[in-house]
Amino acid sequence: MHVITLLTAPARPALDPAALEALRNAWGGGAVLWLAPGVAAEFPVETLPGNFHDIWAEFQALGVDLVAQPAEGRRKRMLIADMDSTMIGQECIDELADEAGVGPHVAEITARAMNGELDFAGALRERVALLAGLPAEVVDKVLSTRITHTPGGRELVATMKANGAHCVLVSGGFTSFAARVAADLGFDEYRANTLLIEDGKLTGKVAEPILGRAAKVSALTGISARLGIAPDQVMAVGDGANDLGMLGIAGAGVALHAKPAVAAQCDIRINHGDLTALLHIQGYARDDFAA
């Protein structure tokens, strides 16, 4: 048994009941359950339809995400989430680079690294080197004036924790940002890279070893083992190439507004919804969300 979930952006509800019913009827599905009016609904099917990917593409054009999952085990006991462009709307290193006057150059490198075109560790070292001499207090300025939380993030973490899940923030970015974001959104723990500082200024170096793709996988496997749960009980979410490892081994790996090369390798792609989509695909209705 599979569950088909249809989702749109909560700010722009676009889920047409007639289109939903037509799809359910065409696929011989069971009763429709609305999770949020105009935003999210689901129905069960005995087997995954052979034309799923074709229909997925048609619904994308309508601003609707379509997700198919096995019905059993949908609710996860652990969330492991990327930070930059996932739990927050920015790439922290790009914001620091803008303060240092090298924003466009660094942003171009970031985009290529996140799309898997460059080695992550090498690209990080190259970008951090361009920040040498930047006053350390600029980090707090960027946090206060440039960083915004992705819609739905607080509800995602709060609701999963209220239902017994452990929530982990893992970032190829920096501890100076991850600590604040993790605390603000209620994560149980975080892991990230450390910017080195001397005499109140960034040295242009990052502590080794660099937390990249392999380290995110190790975080998922290590923390889930510590908690006594299997990887298939974990939901992972990210947008960049360095997230692919953890997205691939998690029971539910979600590519959220991901880079093209990343989305192409993931079965669960959220291109229109916000982070509350991760609750809906677990079967949570809007009324189930924790405050």
Active site residues: 82, 84
- Please name the residues in contact with 265: beta carbons below 8 A apart, sequence gap of 6 or more: 244, 247, 248, 255
CA 3 to chain CA centroid, Å, is: 21
Q: Are strands 234-238 and 252-256 parallel, antiparallel or unpaired?
A: parallel
User: CB–CB of 4/267 below 8 Å?
Assistant: no
Query: To the nearest 10°, the Cα dihedral for 43, 61, 279, 224?
Result: 110
Kindly state the tokens that stand for 114.
Answer: 């996140």
CB 221 within 8 A of CB 168: no
Rounded CA-CA distance 255/287 in Å is 25
208: number of Cβ within 10 Å = 10
Structure tokens given for 104 = 């466009």
The tokens for 6 are 């249809």
Q: What is the largest CA-CA distance in the chain?
A: 67
